[in-house]
Amino acid sequence: MAPYADIAVAVLGALALAWIADLLTGRRGLGGTILVAAVGAGCGAFLAIRVFAVATLSDWTWVVWSMIAAVVCLVAFFLFRSKR
């Protein structure tokens, strides 16, 4: 495989999760959901690689962690978002 395929999959996965979340909630704020999903994915990767040391950048475990963290952040974003 390509050397940076896991990073590309993580970026595309975060974008796909943001797009799906935007579709499911019926809102038009795709920029906000992309930002939240990207930050969540970055935090998930950081937690997997640096904090808990359950993965390295050369394996695919951190991608799963980043997708789970993106979902958690998107749920929190839509749950606690102010609706003025």
Domain enclosing residue 35, as ranges: 5-80
Q: What is the pLDDT of residues 36-79, one digit of tens each?
A: 999 999 999 999 999 999 998 888 999 999 999 999 999 999 99
Tell me how far apart the alpha carbons of residues 73 and 33 are, in angstroms, rounded to a whole number: 9
Q: What is the pLDDT of residue 26?
A: 84
Report how many domains make up the chain. 1
Please, are residues 13 and 70 in contact by the beta-carbon 8 Å criterion? yes
In this prediction the pTM is: 0.91
The answer to whether 35 and 15 are in contact (CB under 8 A) is no
The DSSP secondary structure of 6-56, one letter per residue, reads HHHHHHHHHHHHHHHHHHHHT-S-HHHHHHHHHHHHHHHHHIIIIIS----
